[in-house]
């Protein structure tokens, strides 16, 4: 028997009691809805308050399930692994978020920390904020990532400067920066590869 994965989005909405939800209200796709507050969801979907809360709860459960999966200590070998771990975390975000992944000696994920949440186009990051949790957790290495809400992962000059500062700080502390990945919409750029860091 097929499960919910076989249903159309409108059918899934119907199961949540949102029969009135019509696509013109969410022409940006599901990604345009996932970060909305319940009152905004109700307005966008022409739904009553209990229905909007039900949908907001479903989105939140999905986020928490994705976050739990990301903490199952997977191996983090490169940018594709970072994209897999963080895509759901940053999807639909309208501001830049800077994350640091703390890794053990075998490059398994120990923890993930949100270092900063910036503006629409910038995220202010200082090396001490990135390496403080790494030192406390006795991480063997770190891997950083941030999203570009525009969906274009092309690094900015600020991204280059931050990467170089973090690389230097990691060498001084003995906690190497394995990479800094810029996440876009289904795409990414590895700053290690782009800058050919040693």
Q: What is the pLDDT of residues 35-79, one digit of tens each?
A: 788 888 888 877 788 888 888 888 888 877 776 665 567 889 889
Q: Are residues 115 and 93 in the same domain?
A: yes
Q: Are residues 94 and 171 in the same domain?
A: yes
Percent of all residues in the chain with a pLDDT value above 70, rounded to a whole number: 87
Domain assignment of residue 20, yes or no: yes
Q: Are residues 57 and 79 in the same domain?
A: no
Contact 185, 151 (CB under 8 A): yes
Contact 181, 188 (CB under 8 A): yes
Looking up residue 187, the CATH number of its domain turns out to be 3.40.140.10
Q: Are residues 12 and 44 in the same domain?
A: yes
Of 65-74, 75-84, 117-126, 162-171, least confident by mean pLDDT is: 65-74
Q: Are residues 64 and 81 in the same domain?
A: no
Domain range enclosing 76 = 72-195
Q: Are residues 25 and 93 in the same domain?
A: no
Q: Are residues 64 and 114 in the same domain?
A: no
Contact 76, 83 (CB under 8 A): no
Q: Are residues 153 and 187 in the same domain?
A: yes
């Amino acid at each position: 028997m097929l499960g919910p994965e076989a249903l159309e989005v409108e059918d899934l909405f119907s199961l949540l009691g949102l029969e009135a939800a019509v696509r013109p209200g969410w022409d940006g796709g599901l990604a345009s809805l996932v970060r909305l507050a319940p009152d905004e969801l109700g307005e966008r979907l022409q739904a009553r308050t209990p229905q909007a809360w039900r949908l907001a709860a479903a989105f939140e459960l999905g986020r928490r399930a994705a976050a739990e999966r990301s903490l199952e200590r997977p191996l983090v070998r490169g940018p594709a692994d970072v994209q897999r771990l963080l895509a759901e975390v940053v999807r639909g975000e309208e501001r830049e978020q800077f994350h640091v992944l703390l890794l053990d000696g075998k490059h398994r994920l120990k923890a993930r920390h949100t270092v900063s949440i910036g503006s629409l186009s910038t995220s202010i990051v200082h090396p001490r904020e990135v390496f403080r949790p790494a030192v406390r957790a006795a991480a063997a290495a770190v891997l950083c990532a941030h999203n570009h809400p525009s969906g274009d992962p092309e690094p900015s000059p600020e991204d280059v400067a931050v990467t170089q500062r973090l690389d230097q700080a990691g060498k001084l502390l003995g906690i190497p920066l394995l990479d800094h990945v810029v996440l876009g919409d289904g795409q990414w750029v590895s700053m290690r590869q782009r800058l050919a860091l040693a």
